[in-house]
Amino acid sequence: MTPLPVSIAAAIASFLLLVVVFELIRSRRLRERYALLWLLTGVVLLALSLWRDGLNTIAGWVGVETYPPAILGAVGALFILIVLLHYSTVISRLSDQNTILAQRLALLEQQQREGAKEPSR
């Protein structure tokens, strides 16, 4: 069985995560689209902390007999992996867009310096 203090500590930590994410969105430091994964992480971890029978059951499924709270760590790690992978795709997109912006700017500056007309397309 999961020790009660572990469940309480995990629940508090997950709840704090949710509060922090919420406040970041509210103060516009985090966009909703990048907050969804964090919120999902918080909700799942909170659910697993509070639903102690469920945690034990899942631990049984994957063969963790001795210490069910290990599942909390594993699920947390999995979500962090997903968030990181998601951020890698976001960074890739941003760097592509950054390249395009720099190229556009260079072309515009050249046009402006040489007083060229904007080519029609």
Partner 1 sequence: MAELAAAPTPPAASPVRLGELRRIAIVPALNEEATVGRVIDEIRAFDPGFDIVVVDDGSVDRTAGIAADRGAHVLRLPFNLGIGGAMQTGYRFAFERGYDVAVQVDGDGQHDPAQLPAILAPVLDGQADLCVGSRFAGGAGYRSSFTRRVGIRLFASVVSAVVRQKVTDTTSGFRAVNRKGIALFAADYPHDYPEVEATVMCVKHKLRLREVPVEMRERGGGASSITAVRSVYYMTKVLLAIFVGLFRRYAVPLEEEQHR
Using only C-alpha atoms, the chain has a radius of gyration, in whole angstroms, of: 23
In angstroms, give the least distance from the CB of 90 to partner 1: 14
Stretch that binds partner 1, among 25-33, 55-63, 68-76, 109-117 (CB under 8 A): 25-33
CA 17 and chain centroid, separation: 11
- CA torsion 14-17-19-23 (nearest 10°) is -170
Alpha-carbon gap, residue 1 to 23, rounded angstroms: 34
- What binding mask, one character per residue, do residues 33-72 give for partner 1 by CB under 8 A, x or -? x-xx--x---------------------------------
Among residues 94, 91, 78, 95, the alpha carbon closest in space to that of 37 is found at 78
Q: How many residues bind partner 1 (CB under 8 A)?
A: 16
For residue 13, give the nearest of 67, 64, 87, 72 by alpha carbon: 72
Question: Which one of residues 13, 18, 25, 74 is an interface residue with partner 1 (CB under 8 A)?
Answer: 25
Per-residue contact track with partner 1, 87 to 116, x per CB under 8 A? ---------xx--xx--x------------
Residues that bind partner 1 (CB under 8 A): 22, 25-26, 31-33, 35-36, 39, 96-97, 100-101, 104, 120-121
